[in-house]
Homo-oligomer: A and B are copies of this chain.
Amino acid sequence: MVKISLDVMGGDFGPEVVIPGAAKALERHPEITFVLFGQRDKCEALLANYPKLKEKSVFHECDVAIGMDEKPSQALRRGRNVSTMWRSIAAVKTGDADVAVSAGNTGALMAMAKFCLRMMPNVERPAIAGIWPTLKGESIVLDIGATIGADAKQLLDFAVMGGAMARALFEIERPTIGLLNVGVEEIKGQEDVREAGRLLREANIDSLNYYGFVEGDDLGKGTVDVVVTEGFTGNIALKAAEGTAKQIAAYLRAAMSRSLLSRIGYIFAKGAFDALREKMDPRKVNGGVFLGLNGIVIKSHGGTDAEGFAAAIEVGYDMVRNGLTQKIENDLKLYHALLPSSAGPEAA
């Protein structure tokens, strides 16, 4: 049994997406039970449409729903202890749930998760790990927006946490880890990336296979299982790639409708285009995982639909089933034992 708490009011569409999404995930994984936090008047009628989900859920009425535009500090002030977002996270703390999933706003969710669950021992800053579709399958990329400007020690923590997540999600024993860098040699700056590389190479721990530096185009190639960077660059790389995918999709649509011949061609090749669309479907890789906290929180894209929200739930489900938190704790302990002094921020 895997217990999942849901912030039913989170996201652009709230219960309209969260409830059918949960129903879809339950259909595929009947061993899930849900703890739902929502506003009863907005959920009750919807929930009645999904009797199986209703049966496998406990519903908790909450007064406050956090808005998508609320600032983290405001959300924390207004929503601590009483909001659907806070309470879905708190359920992980009390053990009522194994993982929390929310499509609510990232800043507020991270602020509440940090405040409620606290950082793991030995971890200074949290990371958000995303799943990046590649030519070889999928990679994990972190941080995609939680920690701006990480130092060498923090990058190391990200490498260890991302490695543990790869082991949990992809079920590989010794995932390859790359540090995102630029190719030009002998340039100033980013001493932290180089220092992190040196430390990773020296530590040489069993659960990680340190590959070296990777560049921006290695992301799509799937050169390594885990790409580590700080949150500013990671967030911009992710959005630049998403933007490029949308841009090419727009070019492709325009090209296919430009003449009668191309429209006929489109009809013949419709199966191929459907396969391509499936391959590029952003819903399939929906779900950013907050790492470094005492408990797992999954951030779903705010604008996703029921299928996308179900995918985010399933990321959480996989993480729990494969013991992510325990894996991270073990790896961090191992790592810090190997690098007692040099991994300190003083060394950076």
Contacts and interface: CB of A to CB of B under 8 A. Distances in A.
Contacts of A218: 243
Interface in A244-300: 244-248, 250-252, 255-256, 258-259, 261-262, 264-273, 275-276, 279-280
A272 B267 CA distance: 13
Contacts of A146: 187
User: How many copies of the chain does the oligomer comprise?
Assistant: 2
Interface string A222-244: 00000001011101111111111
A220 interface: yes
Nearest to A105: B184
Nearest to A150: B189
Contacts of A52: none
Main secondary structure of the interface of A (DSSP, over half): helix
B216 A238 contact: yes
A216 B242 contact: yes
Contacts of A184: 106-107, 110, 145, 235
Contacts of A242: 216-217
B251 A271 contact: no
Nearest to A182: B235
A41 interface: no
A103 B219 CA distance: 25
8 smallest CB-CB distances across A and B, nearest first, come from A265-B269, A216-B239, A148-B189, A265-B268, A217-B243, A220-B243, A262-B272, A220-B247
Interface of A: 71-73, 106-107, 110-111, 134-135, 145-149, 180, 182-190, 215-221, 229, 231-233, 235-248, 250-252, 255-256, 258-259, 261-262, 264-273, 275-276, 279-280
25 contacts: A72-B185, A107-B184, A147-B188, A180-B236, A182-B232, A182-B236, A215-B239, A216-B240, A216-B243, A217-B239, A217-B242, A236-B236, A240-B241, A241-B241, A241-B243, A244-B244, A248-B248, A255-B275, A258-B272, A259-B272, A261-B268, A261-B271, A262-B268, A262-B269, A268-B268
